[in-house]
Amino acid sequence: MIILYTSPGCASCRKAKQWLKDNHLEFVEKNIFTTLLKEEEIKYLLQRSENGTADLISTRSKAFQELGKDLDDFSMKELVDFIQKNPSVMKRPIIISEKNFVVGYDDDEITSFVPGELRALASTACNSSCPNYQICGKTREAAQ
């Protein structure tokens, strides 16, 4: 199952949501402003991110700037409490599944949510007998 963390007015969130719909991938959308993120959920997101807090927290956000603290100054409990009270500090969208984790919208990274067997099928579907080979097949070959 894919979980998409979004916020209203976020253009990247809308793009990610539309991409998932266009690719017929089922997902659950969680608006970070209307859904209280549980402590375990926040900890899980932090664990899954490659660089921890730096990947998830926007240090340029107004709420974070007003603290006058460094990310390293927070205990885990303080950080979780801060995120729960100030969800706007989270970068978005956050797209997570059992195998994949992406923060922000990136045309290349989001394709990791397409199941591997479908990606393999797509790479073999276009060959020289395909009418679109000049467009997609050659491009794919050149990228390899």
Tens of pLDDT along 76-87? Answer: 999 999 999 999
Looking at the structure, tell me whether residues 104 and 119 fall in a common domain.
Answer: no
Span 19-30, pLDDT tens digits: 999 989 999 999
Active-site choice (10, 126, 130, 136): 10
Are 14 and 38 in a shared domain? yes
A 10 A CB-CB count for 18 gives 11
Full domain range(s) for residue 138: 114-144
Asked about 136 being catalytic, the answer comes back as no
Which tens digits make up the pLDDT trace of 64-107? 888 888 888 899 999 999 999 999 999 999 999 999 999 999 98
Q: Are 108 and 121 part of one and the same domain? A: no
The predicted model scores a pTM of: 0.78
Q: Are residues 50 and 94 in the same domain?
A: yes
Same domain, 13 and 55: yes
* Coil vs helix vs strand at 60: coil
The CATH number of whichever domain residue 44 belongs to comes to: 3.40.30.10
Going 30 to 33 to 36 to 42, the CA torsion angle's sign is positive
Are 71 and 133 members of one domain? no
